Amino acid sequence: MLGIGWRSWGMGLLLAALLARGASAQSPAGPAFHDAHYHPTDYIQQETALPEFLGMMGDRVGRVALMGIPLQQKWDWFESGDRAPDYYLRSDAALYYYPFVDAMVAEAVLALPPEQQVRFDPMITGFNPTDMYATDHIRRVLRLYPGVFSGIGEFSIHKEVVTPKTVGHMASLRNPALDRILEFAGDVGLLTLIHNDVDVVLPHAGARPTHFDPFIEVVRRHPGTTILWAHAGLGRFVEPTPGYVGMLEELLRDEGLSHLYLDLSWDVVAEQIVAPPETLAAWISLVDRWPDRFILGSDAVVATQADSYLGALEVWRPLLDGLDPAASAKVRLGNYERLFDSARIRVRAWEAAQTEQSRRPR
């Protein structure tokens, strides 16, 4: 154990040195954002070329969490003929899990020089959250690509349109496979990003959002796992109810949920929050009171132009500019560094322990 501790300490020093090199290579003033939610592959597994993407990031974005889309849109000729679909809303055909996406992301990162690799935090996504063997996939990826991944996700449980289209058993908060995944992530130190809509597309008027309490129950069962709630539970069709900010305040005040963080990402969600003046004011007040619990992302998918990519972060500007400057800095930069740096160190230590264990005589 002493050897593992010293190894982790050395890895921490190396990480700090590489981060310093990456920062000095960007801008004396430092970046404006880190991006906690970027998809370098899409629903037909087209990829972002990371050298080109670094050019889009420029000096404005320091680090980016890379999460391949774990689902492949099937091209079902009997459904769409010669029209090849490229997005789940452009086809009635099924989606299926695509495990190879993790190798695609890892290989793309490893092809970069070290001073560029350090600007990315890859996440494992290519597992089926309804499968009790999902943890074996995650473990296998970590062993095959040590030193690469920082977390798991974004993976979806309840997601409008996507969940019912996905082949196999429907993902559910009640499935013990999810608990198994979250337990393993906590043991390893993997940061975990979950997409779980807070409600159904056509909610019951006046009722508490359908998935809010079941989701919180799952989170509460795993206090050792750092969980990011994608889009703070909102979506393209799932919008905040009038009392939603109060419900989020409720969970942020709960000491048993201190390991839960809210991901602010996706331009369609940003529009729901920043456009109505009364809604924006309520969210500014909420984030100002809990600045350590929010993290910013673009949710961009295979960006091709810097303007559109940076715009997916800048769309949050009305919220960010309304915050106390210290709170804004935490949401844009500080919380990302704290959470992902901790995950890197913990996961590297777990990997080192696995390597040492495998070398022991049997």
Q: Which pLDDT value is given to residue 362?
A: 63
Q: Which pLDDT value is given to residue 332?
A: 98
Q: Which pLDDT value is given to residue 1?
A: 31
Q: Which residues of the chain have pLDDT under 50?
A: 1-26
- Angle in degrees, CA 87, 90, 95, rounded to 5: 55
Task: Please name which of 150, 61, 168, 71 lies closest in space to residue 106, comparing C-alpha atoms.
Answer: 150
Helix (H, G, I), strand (E, B) or coil at 122: strand
Residue 249's contacts (CB-CB under 8 Å, 6 or more residues apart) are 286, 289, 290
CB 109 within 8 A of CB 82: no
- Angle in degrees, CA 113, 119, 122, rounded to 5: 95
CA distance 34 to 57: 10
Task: Please name which of 57, 105, 89, 111 lies closest in space to residue 159, comparing C-alpha atoms.
Answer: 89
Q: Measure the CA dihedral 137/143/147/153, to 10°.
A: 10
CA distance 37 to 263: 8
CB 71 within 8 A of CB 98: yes
Q: Measure the CA dihedral 161/165/166/169, to 10°.
A: 100
Dihedral sign (CA 102, 106, 108, 109): positive
CB 316 within 8 A of CB 266: no
Burial of 12 (0-12, 13-18, 19+ CB in 10 A): middle
The answer to pTM > 0.95 is: no
CA distance 94 to 117: 34
